[in-house]
Chains A and B, each alone.
Chain A
């Protein structure tokens, strides 16, 4: 982000204080001349890219879609733990946005949003602005580095990587693992939920242990979990640790990392100081900064409340929020973001036409975790809109694998191919 944390906090506070955004002047010229109805989408991850493609396709290309994304390429977080285990390279998870542009007519702007004016329905970028009829905010997560003493974005980038957004840090963490001595300790710090990808940290423990088993069998994975128990696929992960990597994975519940000493590579919990060869501390998370710019973050200061029929913000009309940033009893996963994006895309098209959106959404999450180079486990649920609760509720019958298998490992790889094609193809 081109604005730093302090400016951004000031802006948010100012916004709350006067209930508007008086400090924001619409700067520069309209970047793209607006002719018909326009949806601007900020964030080209699983949710944002899906919404872009589906609004174009389902409106028969009648609605203009401008997608703003800071990165040149899409890198999949799902399956990125296998880069640590060694069965994939980061390039295997990297895709371009070309098809969205060429095949679907999405207008892509690579850049940073600097401000959003919900009243004037305008998104500001450094070079100008874009006006919208509806805005979709799909910012993913930002890390709350200030929750962990001694940690900040710079240290995370240079030494204590979270690698919780697939990309440069994923590759750096793999290099740290490769450079680690046999007999070393790789510590993973897990934040209290909700965080992106509930089973991800435990899958990561499997992938790191898989690498160690092949290359550094005296080494150990130490999981410092802020949560009171394994938050997802518990029995399946414990079976994988005990049976595939006996003696290599140590799990400590209620062990929130409170601070780190980057010099000495020490993570401090309430109970003890843990020295490790590699520290992989995943900080607590909140909705990405763009959500704060749009003024759609809830009273908890972290997540965005939405109407689950339309994904329209409970704070501002004409602004929708999808994906990890949403406050919901829904898992923060790639598949969930795409499922939300499609309901949102359908609703946005209907609302632009002055029609009522569909009132009975049912969406799915299927989440695979690779517990070795070949075997996977899953959790799968249908979530339905509950009118009384005005929220999405897990339907009957959801659940996890009976046991890990290579069959599910193959399905996990098929899943990745199809979801990436669905989002970007």
Chain B
């Protein structure tokens, strides 16, 4: 039930945020946050190895996954440590950033 409620909030935010960020060329805060993800997941989420690609990921899927890493519902080796260090609002920013990356293009 709680999970369902969270999902509704997530979706609602998901609709609201792109409108805000559409004005800026790139949200620099989101870009800077996402910079730290590149070591494992590749530049702008374009993985060049076996690590999961984040570029082009559906934003709802991304936010849900991060929340589940945070709660422990989704098993992980590393990601639970990182997910716990970010706020839910930051998950949204990162989700927007990675969702807006074109797949098959690095920059």
What is A's interface to B at a CB cutoff of 8 Å?
Answer: 54, 57-58, 335, 338-339, 342-343, 346, 358, 360-364, 366, 378, 380-382, 384, 395-399, 401-402, 405, 407-408, 410-411, 413-415, 417-419, 421-422, 425
| Pairwise interchain contact A346-B48, C-beta atoms closer than 8 A | no
Q: How far is the CA of A122 from the CA of B70 in the complex (A)?
A: 48
| Pairwise interchain contact B43-A421, C-beta atoms closer than 8 A | yes
Q: CB < 8 Å: which of B33, B38, B77, B84 contacts A338?
A: B38
How many A-B pairs have beta carbons closer than 8 Å: the answer is: 115
Is B28's CB within 8 Å of the partner chain A? Answer: yes
| Pairwise interchain contact A399-B43, C-beta atoms closer than 8 A | no
Is B35's CB within 8 Å of the partner chain A? Answer: yes
Main secondary structure of the interface of B (DSSP, over half): helix
| Pairwise interchain contact A366-B85, C-beta atoms closer than 8 A | no
In this complex, how many residues of chain B approach chain A with their Cβ under 8 Å: the count is 31
Chain B, residues 29-49, CB within 8 Å of chain A (1/0): the string is 101110111111111000111
* B residues near A398, Cβ cutoff 8 Å: 81, 84-85
| Pairwise interchain contact A366-B40, C-beta atoms closer than 8 A | yes
Q: CB < 8 Å: which of B28, B33, B78 contacts A378?
A: B78
Is B99's CB within 8 Å of the partner chain A? Answer: no
Q: 9 tightest CB-CB pairs across the interface, nearest first?
A: A397-B84, A382-B85, A395-B85, A364-B36, A342-B35, A417-B49, A414-B49, A380-B81, A414-B51
| Pairwise interchain contact B42-A421, C-beta atoms closer than 8 A | yes
List B residues 62-107 near A (Cβ within 8 Å): 70, 77-78, 80-86, 90, 107
* B residues near A396, Cβ cutoff 8 Å: 84-85
Q: How far is the CB of A76 from chain B (nearest CB, A)?
A: 12
Q: How far is the CA of A111 from the CA of B44 in the complex (A)?
A: 31
* B residues near A417, Cβ cutoff 8 Å: 48-49
Q: How far is the CA of A74 from the CA of B39 in the complex (A)?
A: 16
Q: How far is the CB of A106 from chain B (nearest CB, A)?
A: 15
| Pairwise interchain contact A425-B29, C-beta atoms closer than 8 A | no
A398-B81, A418-B51 known; A360-B29 Cβ under 8 A:
yes
Q: How far is the CB of A324 from chain B (nearest CB, A)?
A: 16
| Pairwise interchain contact B37-A401, C-beta atoms closer than 8 A | no
Q: How far is the CB of A239 from chain B (nearest CB, A)?
A: 16
| Pairwise interchain contact B86-A382, C-beta atoms closer than 8 A | yes
